């Protein structure tokens, strides 16, 4: 039923788009853009690779920071909370400029792909930390106390009792952050990284086919984000079935 609804929605969207395009009277010319398909493919592949790597690193950062926020060691907890507030309170665009043109220059990090992965990871890690913290806090403290009362260590309690339950709770919010991370990767074009957005801009400047280039840009991001959303729906249904 779910896939039928997806197909129905896609068909309705396609028909509406076709009608709007027809009414606009625009003359579409895809031939010049199609000649640069390798540039689009290269940019799409770079966006995919950077996003996957940043997702893995930011998940690790978010998990560590979320646990640090619950630490009994005050300096560690303060540092974690300060990191989250600093990153969430400033725009990603400003962070990219500061991290790339000041921090990266200071440490002689010249590889734009690695720099892009690190910058996205630092940004997304702060948001994932809050997602994970909220998921952990939603588990009753009585479960933590009960697990430790039967002899489990604090680490074992989190591993076997708290985190498996929290994972189900944070799944929708984590998915939303993953999708945002993929779209946020478009800002890496400002440091000259030839990802999908930069490739689309280049094609638009070469061919003067701006609309065609940006339509393909939108479809390229949709190909990256839609499978994540569909997979999450499947996981949510599986979790509901198991419970």
User: Residue 1: what pLDDT?
Assistant: 58
pLDDT in tens, 87-125: 999 999 999 999 999 999 999 999 999 999 999 999 999
> What span, in angstroms and rounded, lies between the C-alpha atoms of 91 and 84?
13
Domains (ranges, CATH) in the chain?
Answer: 48-186 (1.10.3720.10)
pLDDT for residue 230: 84
Q: What is the pLDDT of residue 243?
A: 53
Per-residue pLDDT tens over the stretch 2-53:
566 666 777 776 678 767 766 777 777 889 999 999 999 999 999 999 999 9
* pLDDT tens profile 137-165: 888 778 877 888 888 887 888 888 888 88
Which segments within 28-127 are labelled E, that is strand? none
Q: What is the pLDDT of residue 162?
A: 83
Q: Which tens digits make up the pLDDT trace of 175-218?
A: 999 999 999 999 999 999 999 999 999 999 999 888 889 999 99
Position 241 scores a pLDDT of 53
Q: Which long-range contacts (CB under 8 A, 24 or more apart) does 201-210 make?
A: 202/36, 202/39, 203/33, 203/36, 203/39, 203/40, 206/32, 206/36, 207/32, 207/33, 207/35, 207/36, 208/32, 209/29, 209/30, 209/32, 209/33
pLDDT computed for residue 206 by the predictor? 92
**Tens digit of each residue's pLDDT (9 = 90 or more) over 45-89:** 999 999 999 999 999 999 999 989 988 889 999 999 999 999 999
pTM of this structure: 0.85
Interacting residues of 165 by C-beta distance below 8 A, sequence separation 6+ = 139, 143
pLDDT at residue number 178: 93
Tokens of 64: 């560590």
pLDDT of residue 3: 61
């Amino acid at each position: 039923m779910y896939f039928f609804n997806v197909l129905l929605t896609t068909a309705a969207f396609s028909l509406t788009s076709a009608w709007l395009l027809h009414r606009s009277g625009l003359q579409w010319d895809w031939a010049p853009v199609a000649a640069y398909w390798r540039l689009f493919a290269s940019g799409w592949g770079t966006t995919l690779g950077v996003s996957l790597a940043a997702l893995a690193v930011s998940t690790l950062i978010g998990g560590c920071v979320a646990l640090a926020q619950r630490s009994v060691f005050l300096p560690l907890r303060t540092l974690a909370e300060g990191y989250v507030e600093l990153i969430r309170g400033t725009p990603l665009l400003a962070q990219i400029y500061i991290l790339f043109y000041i921090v990266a220059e200071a440490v002689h990090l010249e590889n734009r792909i690695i720099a892009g992965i690190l910058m996205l990871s630092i940004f997304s890690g702060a948001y994932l930390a809050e997602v994970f913290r909220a998921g952990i806090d939603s588990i009753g403290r009585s479960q933590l106390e009960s697990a430790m009362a039967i002899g489990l260590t604090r680490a074992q309690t989190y591993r076997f009792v708290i985190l498996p339950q929290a994972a189900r709770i944070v799944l929708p919010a984590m998915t939303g952050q993953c999708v945002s991370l993929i779209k946020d990767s478009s800002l890496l074009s400002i440091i000259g990284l030839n990802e999908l957005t930069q490739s689309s801009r280049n094609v638009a400047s070469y061919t003067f086919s701006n609309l065609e280039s940006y339509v393909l840009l939108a479809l390229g991001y949709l190909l990256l984000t839609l499978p994540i959303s569909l997979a999450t729906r499947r996981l949510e249904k599986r979790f509901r079935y198991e419970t």
